[in-house]
Amino acid sequence: MLLREVEYAKPGSVGEALELLASNDGARALAGGQTLINVMKARAASPDMLVDLDGLDELRGIELAADGTLTVGAMTTYSELVGSAEARARPILGEVCATIADVQVRNRGTIGGNVCSNDPTNHLPPLMVAVGARMTIAGAGGEREVPAEEFFLGVYMTAVAPGELLTRIAIPAGKKDGFAAVTLGAEGTCICNAAASVNGSVRVALGCVDAVPVLLTADTAEGVADAVRAANITPPSDVHASSEYRTHLAEVLATRAAQEAATR
């Protein structure tokens, strides 16, 4: 419950934040804190310094471009996304964010934090992969763009290297999306989830079954179950689900997400 000693810095710009992160090995970015503070309470990880990104306007904002691309600042909270008129251009985003945890968490938790923590049970990593999002990472050398399917590297690990920051996420135009989950209680932690997007063919990303979202494609929603089986996933067993049950759920939820996407 009680954190180890830590230093705290509140930079006034993204540049300053990057400098702090790059020059302090044990420095970690603090976004909404809805994951990191709990990790620190458990002393599972204890950064030497927290670099508070709150107040960096460059990391906020939701813009809708003429071609329908949505650009969401990494420090956008779930509540901001749910309430955003621009974000309704891609309705699945607000719909999914509205089911994450509870209003207190949604008021502080951020999109960037969700994808950068890459907890296998998170909602947004599979969703970002399914909709083909592109992540912008800023570092000392400038900015680079990484497609979502290359962004997630392992449990709690992403393409954001030490000294770098995710600054924004670009989501292409589209409306034919779906998301299905079995959760621990209503709107609880995901036991298994799947996100789907239809653009001609079907693009499905499975969550909770591997260290990173598992991306599959199929021609139709009906073919998704076969695609899941062909992927030969071996999900972990834990107190909430055996590997066998999770595998089964993945098939069912992927199909449901795809059907939802196809019929939008």
Partner 1 sequence: MDVAVTVNGTTYERDVEPRKLLIHFLRDDLDLTGSHVGCDTGNCGACSVIFDGVLVKSCMLLAVQANGASIETVEGLAEDGELTPLQQAFNEHHALQCGYCTPGMLMSATALLRENQSPSDAEIKKALQGNICRCTGYWNIVEAVKSVAR
Partner 2 sequence: MTETTLAPAPVEVQKGWGGQSVRRKEDKRLLQGEGVFVDDVKRHGMGYLHFVRSPYAHAHITRVDVSAAEAIDGVYGTLTGEEVAALTEPFFQISSAPGANIKDYSLAVGKVRYVGEPVVAVVAETRELARDASELVEVDYEPLPAVVDARTAQDSDAAVLHDDAEGNLMWSGLYSWGDLDAAFAEADRVVKIPELHFHRFNSTPLECDGALVEFNRGVGQWTIHTNNQFPGFAAIMMGPAMQVGLDKLRFVTQDIGGGFGNKITSHPQLVVCCLLARKLNRPVQWTEWRTDFHLSMSHGNERWFHDTEVAVKDDGTLLGFRTKALDDAGAWLRYEPLGGVIWAQVTPGMYRWRHIELDFTQVATNKAPVSPNRGYSRMQHLWFTERVIDIVARELDLDPVEVRKRNYVRAEDMPYTTPNGCVYDSGDYAAMLDLALELVDYESIPGRRAEAKERGKVLGVGIGSTLDSGTNNFGQSRLINPELQFSGNNEVATVKLDIFGEIVVTLGTTPQGQGHETTAAQVVADILNCSVDDVHVRAGHDSYWNSHAGFSGTYASQFAVTGLSAVKGATEMLAAEIKRLAGAVFGGVPEEALELADGGVRIKESPDAFLPFMACGAIVNANNAGLPEDLEVTLNCRYVYRPPFEVPDVETKTGNLTLTYATQIHVAVVEIDPETGAYEIVDYAAVDDCGKRINPQIVEGQVMGATAQAIGAVIHETYEYDEDGNLLTPNFYDYHVPHALDMPPLATGAIESPSPFTPLGTKGMGEGGGAGIHAVCAAIQDATGQIVTDSHNPYQRVWRLLQEAQA
Q: Torsions phi, psi of 66, nearest 5?
A: -60, -35
Cα 109 from Cα 123, distance rounded (Å): 13
Nearer to partner 2, 35 or 167 (CB): 35
Among 11, 17, 28, 33, binds partner 1 (CB under 8 A): 33
Residue 42 within binding range of partner 1, rule CB under 8 A: yes
What are the Cα distances from residue 71, in Å, to 3, 67, 103, 111, 154?
35, 11, 23, 12, 25
Least distance to partner 1 from the beta carbon of 126, Å?
Answer: 22
Stretch that binds partner 2, among 14-22, 88-96, 181-189, 196-204 (CB under 8 A): 181-189
Among 26, 184, 201, 234, binds partner 2 (CB under 8 A): 184
Q: Which one of partner 2, partner 1, none is in contact with 14 (Cβ closer than 5 to 8 A by kind)?
A: none
Give me 130's structure tokens. Answer: 């399914």
How many residues bind partner 2 (CB under 8 A)? The answer is: 26
- DSSP one-letter code for 238: -
Least distance to partner 2 from the beta carbon of 172, Å?
Answer: 31
What are the Cα distances from residue 7, in Å, to 10, 49, 108?
10, 4, 21
Residue 2 within binding range of partner 1, rule CB under 8 A: yes
Stretch that binds partner 1, among 29-37, 201-209, 236-244, 247-255 (CB under 8 A): 29-37
Residue 249 within binding range of partner 2, rule CB under 8 A: yes
Beta strands in the chain (DSSP E): 7-9, 27-30, 49-52, 62-64, 70-73, 134-139, 142-147, 152-154, 157-158, 165-171, 177-183, 190-199, 201-207, 214-218
- DSSP one-letter code for 77: B
Least distance to partner 2 from the beta carbon of 90, Å?
Answer: 25
Residues in touch with partner 2 (CB under 8 A): 1-5, 38, 42, 102, 182, 184-189, 191, 238-242, 245, 248-249, 252-253
